[in-house]
Structure 1
Amino acid sequence: MKEHTKIMILKERTKSVTYRVLESLNYRMRLTAEEKTNYENQVKGFAGEIQFDSYMAQAKISGLVLNDLILSHRDTSFQIDSLLITNDSVYLYEVKNYAGSYFYKEESLFTESGYQILNPLRQIDRSVTYLQNVMLRIGYTLPIHPVIIFINPDFILYSFLPNKLFLFSNQLPKHFNALSNQKKLIKNEHLELANKLKKLHNENYRPDNLPTYHFDQLKKGIICPICFSTSHIDTRQNYVCSICGHKEIITSVIERSIIEFKDLFPDKPIMTNLIYQWCGEVYSKERIRMILKKNYQNHLSGQKTYYSDKQLS
């Protein structure tokens, strides 16, 4: 057994594939109003999760944390914002970054203007059921405590009977303080559980509701990671954004653009000429080929060479 006196983050938080795809498309094509709203919701949701992470980081809790888990049960995928494994329990956190006034009636959430929001209680109940089954499948029976976090301090909920599953941002310090008073012993079996769940995470999951798009219709060029401009000037080794001044090594810029291409086109073969076009034809094919050879596994198909992720040995 090992005694931990602080949180161990075994899986860091990253932007979801939906966020990454919509972020790219937002600056490379015209999104529909619905797609634009979805993108804005992704931005708000991720900001809320980062805010939740800051609360947890300040807490003196002993536990193991897995963020942004995508697991599967009977061919059904489900997503968990944050999972905290303590000495004797698993805490499943669903983070909502709603702002403004909401009403709770007929077991549903409604905005002030009357729009109905998916009931987070049903959503988290589904996640708990699936997680219990996944844990049973790999041999663990720790109790699961679901918690719905309304992280935005500007969120107001009316017509609502108190529910122990709901926590507001001003209640988080008390919640984490209560957890910090528990025993600090984290057993090896907890670490084994966390690592098994991490291994089950579906890195390649893509939702069915992503926009339809094609390579030819998207704006080409390097997108600045800070201001999302495609305007830049280059020195021999460095890329410099013309708008915000962000500076980056050109090799890093090309590597980042390859990853963006892979996010958008997971089924397209990675080829030197395609990446050359994707980067706006501003960097030589030879330079791009060298980066691909270094970072990816090359394959020969007829007269053409394409690249794929290196297989871990």
Structure 2
Amino acid sequence: MNDFVLVQMVAAERLQSSHESKHTVLSELKNSLAGVSGEQRTAALLNRELDLVGDVVVLSDVHIPYKDGSVQIDVLLIHADCVCVLEVKNMIGEFYFDSVNFQFHRVVDGRREGMRNPEAQLHRAVKAVSGFLGVPVHGVIVLTSRSGKVVEAPKLYPVVSLDYLPFHLEKLANRSELFDVAKLTSMLEKLPPQNFSNSWLTRHQIGLDSLRLGVTCPTCRTCSLIWRDRKWHCKSCGFHSRDAHEVTLQEYALLFGRDLDTRLAYRLLGVENKYVLYRLLEKSAPKSQTRGKRRIIENRELLREYFSRVYR
């Protein structure tokens, strides 16, 4: 679960229902979750069943520099005999690849839907990886859902089901093109992390005032907790906790950065007593060198654990 998906999860949970982008945010999160699920299943299958001699490196969600921007790679496989980009699609329906105009559409329940062409996406990704690593690169479109069927196949790249993918890659590796796996992997590991969160929030006009503030009840997920008797309490379901505010602080840091104005912290957590606020922030957001400012200690794993329970 990368940071961008976490941003979408926080926005989907906290964005006010009246916001004009609420429906779009929920729709994009649904697509992102489907994509992440497909990529995770693909990587897990390769790590479990791919039968190749020597080291095999399987990387997910890789961003490769390309022209004036970057290209996102769903799954990238590196082996001494083969480097392959996997364009993973977790979709249902009947798929039609137009090999003349390179357009793509699918039919679901008799309804035709135009979509981005996976073949064009893959071609761009293959060019980016080949140019960056300086080696020839293969590409394959992987269908992870058994409810997907190719009616018209693409022209440039093969489409394979997830179940068949290990066998397809094993056939590619028989060509004996020798690559330095450690060297190529090192080049990729040195790439700077990409952050698309700010541009995504700006595109959807999401700011702090667009969000429901307060400490979210992890059970109800739609209401804020109340601090009473040294615990957070939910009036609706009876949930209580001493440290539920830790997730709220991490959500703020993810969306808006680690620096937290003390005056804003009152609104963020929904408390009024300064001694309560200082006690809550003492360990997770200690005072900085600037008067009236706190600095949140980042803990992404806490958010991943929280949302993995929400989106099981």
TM-score range, shorter chain: 0.7 to 0.9
**Pairing 1:104–2:97 present:** yes
How far apart, CA to CA, are the structure 1 residues paired with 2:37 and 2:217? 20
Corresponding residue to 2:191 among 196, 200, 204: 200
Q: Note if 1:147 corresponds to 2:134.
A: no
2:30 aligns with: 40
* TM score, norm. by length of structure 2: 0.73
Counterpart amino acid of 2:122?
A: I
Partner SS, residue 115 of structure 1: strand
Structure 1 residues 54, 242: closer, same or farther in 2, change over 3 A?
farther
Matched, 1:76 2:73: no
Aligned partners of 2:185, 2:145: CA distance in 1, in Å? Answer: 29
**2:86 — aligned with what?**
93
Could you say if the C-alpha distance between residues 21 and 287 of structure 1 is closer, same or farther in structure 2, counting changes exceeding 3 Å?
same
* Residue aligning to 1:21: 7
1:121 to 107, 110, 119: 119
* 2:62–2:75 Cα contact (<8 Å) kept: yes
Query: Paired residue for 2:181?
Result: 190
Code of the residue aligned with 1:73 in structure 2: it is Y
Q: Determine the structure 2 residue equivalent to 1:172.
A: 165
Are 1:229 and 1:241, in contact at CA under 8 Å, matched by a contact in 2? no
Which of 270, 279, 285 is the matching residue for 1:287?
279
Counterpart residue identity of residue 298, structure 1 = S
Change (3 A) 1:94 1:286: same
C-alpha contact (below 8 Å) 1:15/1:46 kept by paired residues = no
Report the CA distance between 1:86 and its aligned residue.
0.8
* AA partner of residue 278 (structure 2): E
Q: Quick one: distance in 1 between partners of 2:56 and 2:239?
A: 37
Cα distance in 1 between the residues matched to 2:172 and 2:231:
47
Q: % of aligned pairs identical?
A: 23
Distance across 2 between alignment mates of 1:59 and 1:241: 46
Quote the Cα distance in structure 1 between the aligned partners of 2:164 and 2:280.
Answer: 51
User: Is residue 229–residue 243 contact of structure 1 (8 Å, CA) maintained in 2?
Assistant: no
Flag structure 2 segments of 5+ consecutive residues without an equivalent. 299-312
Inter-partner Cα distance in structure 1 for 2:47 and 2:151: 30
- Checking the alignment, whether the CA contact within 8 Å between 2:10 and 2:251 is kept in structure 1 is yes
Contact 1:223 1:230 survives alignment (8 Å): yes
| Whole-Å separation in 1 of the counterparts to 2:252 and 2:265 | 8
Output the CA distance in 2 between the equivalents of 1:243 and 1:60. Answer: 49
Residues 169 and 240 (structure 1), Cα distance of their counterparts in 2 relative to 1, 3 Å cut? farther
Distance between the aligned counterparts of 1:42 and 1:181, measured in 2?
34
Q: In the TM superposition, what whole-angstrom CA distance separates every residue of 1:49-73 from its partner, at most 9, and x where no partner exists?
A: 2222221231245312222112323
- In structure 1, the gaps of 5 or more residues are 1-13, 136-140
